[in-house]
Structure 1
Amino acid sequence: MASSTTTFISSTSFFCRKVHPKSSLANLKHKDHEHILTSSFFDPTAFTLKSSRAITTTPLGLRRLPPSRVNCAAASPSSTLPAALLFDCDGVLVDTEKDGHRISFNETFQERELGVTWDVDLYGELLKIGGGKERMTAYFNQTGWPAKAPSGEEERKQFIASLHKRKTELFMALIEKRLLPLRPGVAKLIDQALGQGVNVAVCSTSNEKAVSAIVSNLLSPERAEKIKIFAGDVVPRKKPDPAIYLLAASTLGVEPSRCVVVEDSAIGLAAAKAAGMKCIVTKSGYTADEDFLNADAVFDFIGDPPEERFDLAFCGSLLEKQYVS
Structure 2
Amino acid sequence: MGYRVAVVGATGNVGREMLAILAEREFPMDEVAAVASSRSIGMELEVGDSGKMVKCKSLEHFDFTGWDIALFAAGSGPTKEYAPKAAAAGCVVIDNSSLYRMDPDVPLIVPEVNPDAIDGYKKRNIIANPNCSTAQLVVALKPLHDFAKIKRVIVSTYQSVSGAGKEGMDELFEQSRAIFVGDRVEPRKFTKQIAFNVIPHIDEFMDDGSTKEEWKMMVETKKILDPKIKMNATCVRVPVFVGHSEAVNIEFENEITAKQAQDILREAPGIMLVDKREDGGYVTPTEAAGDSATYISRVREDPTVENGITLWCVSDNLRKGAALNAVQIAELLGRRHLQKG
TM-score normalised to the size of structure 1?
0.31
Instruction: Name which structure has the greater RCO, CA cutoff 8 Å, separation 6+.
Output: 1
Larger Rg: 1
TM-score with structure 2 length normalisation? 0.30
Of Structure 1 and Structure 2, the greater strand share is in: 2
